[in-house]
Amino acid sequence: MNVATEKVSSELLELVPEEKLALDRILAENRDRPGATMVVLTLTQEQVGYVSPAAQRYISQELDVPLSHIYGVLTFYSFFRTSPIGRHKVSICMGTACYVRGGPTLVEKYQQVLGVKLDETTEDNRFTLEVCRCVGACSQAPVVMIDDDIIGRVPLQDVAKTLRGYE
């Protein structure tokens, strides 16, 4: 997975106050765990929504782990992002079952309705569109995950309607 292509805007180079607050809490609770790097990074991703370059540097200093190691871990796993995403994440499942049952058509439809390509965010910052690997709801294929909601077997003409519930 490649996160290097994401643009790094200059404001991400400094920690914002809420970000620092979250990081300090996460670090305080987990710094002594064995294998703390992964734990801290996943919690940061979960709670902040991304691991900014500033956060990477801060975690590296606090855990006394080289920045290169942090960056290596971040770019290895597809779960991590280094810049913020839209308010809602639309992930279309491309697992085998969904693929067979029309996942690719669903991608076309969402791109058309949202007016963005995969891995892009709408201009109003409302939605980020991406594909994901199997979410384990194969009996409802094809499946779309909007934030934590799993939506299965949505007829194509209802796609726009489905999105209306997410402001």
* Residue 156 interacting with another protein (CB under 8 A): yes
Whole-Å CA distances, 47 to 31, 41, 59, 138, 148: 16, 10, 15, 28, 14
| Cβ proximity to another protein, 16 vs 151, nearer residue | 151
Cβ-based nearer residue to another protein, 21 or 72: 72
Q: Which of 24, 47, 67, 77 binds another protein (CB under 8 A)?
A: 77
- DSSP annotation of 3 reads -
Alpha helices in the chain (DSSP H): 17-30, 36-48, 53-63, 67-76, 96-100, 103-114, 159-164
Indicate the residue type of 59: I
* Of positions 123, 148, 164, 167, contacts another protein by CB under 8 A: 148
- 42 belongs to the binding site for another protein (CB under 8 A): yes
* Candidate list 14, 24, 29, 108; residue touching another protein; CB under 8 A: 108
Q: How far is CA 66 from CA 51, 82, 87, 114, 154, in A?
A: 16, 17, 32, 40, 46
Q: Which two tokens stand for residue 117?
A: 């390509």
Among 12, 55, 101, 128, binds another protein (CB under 8 A): 101
- Residue 141 binding another protein, by CB under 8 A: yes
Residues near another protein (CB under 8 A): 1, 34-39, 41-42, 45, 65, 69, 72-73, 76-80, 94-102, 104-105, 108-109, 111-112, 132-141, 148-154, 156-157
